[in-house]
Amino acid sequence: MRMSQLFSTTLRDAPAEAQSEGFALLLRAGFIRQIAAGIFATLPLGKRAIQKIESILREEMDAIGGQELSMPVVLPADLWKETGRWYSVGDELARLKDRNQRDLVLAMTHEEAVGDLVRHEIHSYKQLPRLIYHIQTKFRDDPRPRAGLIRVREFTMKDSYSLDSSWEGLDRQYRAHYQSYFNIFRRCGLPVIAVKADTGMMGGHLAHEYMYLNPIGEDTIIRCDTCGYTANRQIARFMKSAPAAEEPKSLEKVHTPATKTIEDLARFLQIPESRTAKAVFFTAAIPNEQETTERLVMAIVRGDMELNETKLSNLIKAKELRPATEEEILASGAVPGFASPYGLKDTLVVVDDLIPLSPNLVAGANQTDYHLKNVNYGRDFTTPFVADIAAAGEGDLCPDCGSVLRAERGVEVGNIFKLGTWYSEKLGCTYQDEKGENQPVIMGSYGIGLGRLLGCVAEQHHDTNGLTWPVSIAPYSVHLVLLHGKQNTLPQETADRLFSQLQAAGMDVLYDDREESPGVKFNDADLIGIPLRLTVSARSLEAGGVELKLRSESDREVIPLDEVIERTRMILAGMLETIQAEVTSVIYHE
């Protein structure tokens, strides 16, 4: 491609909407353009990088037995109603009607569509196992798109779906994906870790997320350096230390003026925060058969801990949680800042499993400026909802070995789920076993977001001058730069000939043939970030050939013209070998 004909242009300054360095560079280098919040156009350079990612995805999926197909982005709502997700998924699912007033959805994921195909195509155990995949546009009406391609509304994903007749078969396909995903990310030059994760709206009974550790991430990863325990904070466990047993003391109401926070309360009473009970109110949308009802929820954790909303949501099977309003709290009989579970109306009370083990706590008295001392679970209040709802954090103790945990931010770039038979049973996806009896197909689901992967690679591979693409997914492998000579046509004739020779040798080349100054051309070359640069100029020809420079290095050397093709081929092959050497077997951690 000649840059004089390239559709996109480079920008000297980052647009105001750029929220991270990688995002800013993708915009400046002309890889993407924002059309609306969370909706992007991928320009030719970005499209070529995405196509190379797609090639890697296809190679790795095919290597574990995948068959590619294509599925629509617009799906009948009836499929989603069959599984119940029409009712359980919130506003992020885009719902619409056709001209005949039939309900439709813009697919944010394709389990329902796959289930519909499976129930019509799979009839016998002899047709299993199978693995199908597609690369498809999806839409999720995310209320908070941010950081460019990291969090968007419209996106492209590789989804694969495993179909098995046994749980052992699902385990084999799940583990094959576990390894394959590491292969994919390493081939793309992105370091990731796999963490155990919440199954969320996907359902199922096991999930792993692939995390790129970076401060721009919205996920918090909890890790133990001693034993290797790793989990998303959404589900992370930690060792809870129960206090020493005490005899329950008598309830005592105490005046605690202007102590609406746990910190204020502990300071006022001169007690540790661990001797208090923290009440947090939410309004939960809880789906039933074909409707969703709202319930006020009071969640109680010990004062020295934080509530984990994901654990709470999963426990009560809420579709959505939002902070309760002051009016909603008052209507229940509670007093914001001084609340307790005593005498509440229409309120679902949930307590952390450490609360019953913590005697004589200080809790709200449901009266402004008053608290109760010596509150004890079992004597003073009870609830059927007692579970781990506390959030793990930096400095907590590992649940497996007791070592100190640490927390890091990360971006989820892929996920794998053991769905089991949940969708199969809802959609009637059955096969006949060896005995002629109908059995549900056992499913797994596995996803990678292509745009998010590209955005994370940009965050990982850049310097102060621009992007520094791994050769495996760079839009072009070679950046050929022509510096026009004054009244000397030899540089252009040589560069034109070299452009043709490089292409004939099977190398993809971006040829900067523009009438621009050397400074502009070199700056753009650094900004775009192609791995290898060849410069043809009167000076290089006088020195004996073509100047060769790697984007990742500052050194330059002049290569004789008759050696350029082979030398370039060898350098690019070496780069690919270096990346491929990172593709090694990993240990599966469940």
Q: Taking Cα atoms as reference points, which of 46, 53, 35, 23 lies closest to residue 154?
A: 35
Angstrom distance (rounded) from CA 280 to CA 340: 10
Does residue 428 come out as left (phi exceeding 0), alpha (psi in the -120 to 50 range) or beta?
left
Query: CATH classification of 476-580, choosing from 3.10.580.10, 3.40.50.800, 1.10.3720.10, 3.40.50.300?
Result: 3.40.50.800
270: number of Cβ within 10 Å: 6
Q: What average pLDDT score do residues 29-42 get?
A: 95
Only one residue has tokens 């793990």, namely 392
Coil, helix or strand at residue 513: coil
Angstrom distance (rounded) from CA 9 to CA 38: 21
Q: Taking Cα atoms as reference points, which of 239, 308, 230 lies closest to residue 590?
A: 230
List, in order, residues 6 or more apart from 307 with CB less than 8 Å away. Answer: 278, 280, 299, 301, 389, 390, 391
The pLDDT confidence band at residue 146, using thresholds 50, 70 and 90, is confident
Q: Taking Cα atoms as reference points, which of 426, 419, 435, 443 lies closest to residue 164?
A: 443
Q: Where are the domains of the chain?
A: 15-71+109-217+411-459, 252-391, 476-580
- Could you tell me if 571 and 550 are in contact, meaning their C-beta atoms sit under 8 angstroms apart? yes
Q: Which of these ranges, 162-176, 191-205, 307-321, 520-534, has the smallest mean pLDDT?
A: 191-205
Model confidence pLDDT, tens digit, residues 196-218: 887 765 566 788 999 999 999 98
Model confidence pLDDT, tens digit, residues 374-408: 999 999 999 999 999 999 999 999 999 999 999 99
Angle at 538 between CA 535 and CA 543, to 5 degrees: 80
Coil, helix or strand at residue 337: coil
Angstrom distance (rounded) from CA 452 to CA 150: 5
Average of per-residue pLDDT values in the chain: 94
pTM: 0.88
Q: Taking Cα atoms as reference points, which of 145, 147, 308 lies closest to residue 214?
A: 147
Angstrom distance (rounded) from CA 301 to CA 315: 14
Query: CATH classification of 252-391, choosing from 3.10.20.740, 3.90.960.10, 3.40.50.300, 3.40.50.20?
Result: 3.90.960.10
Tokens encoding 554 = 């500052």
Interhelix angle 44-63/450-460, rounded to 10 degrees, is 110
Tokens encoding 402 = 């007791």
Cα–Cα separations (whole angstroms), residue 188 to 51, 65, 240: 12, 21, 40
Query: CATH classification of 15-71+109-217+411-459, choosing from 3.10.129.10, 3.30.420.40, 3.20.20.480, 3.30.930.10?
Result: 3.30.930.10
Please determine whether the domains at 15-71+109-217+411-459 and 476-580 fall in the same fold group of CATH: no
Coil, helix or strand at residue 374: strand
What is the phi/psi pair of residue 471, to 5°?
-60, -25
Model confidence pLDDT, tens digit, residues 409-435: 999 999 999 999 999 999 999 999 999
Please report, as a single letter, which amino acid is at residue 258: A
Cis peptide before 129 (omega within 30 of 0): yes
Residue 59 reports pLDDT greater than 70:
yes
Angstrom distance (rounded) from CA 321 to CA 286: 9
Model confidence pLDDT, tens digit, residues 432-491: 999 999 999 999 999 999 999 999 999 999 999 999 999 999 999 999 999 987 777 889
Tokens encoding 98 = 């056709």
Coil, helix or strand at residue 528: helix
DSSP 324: P
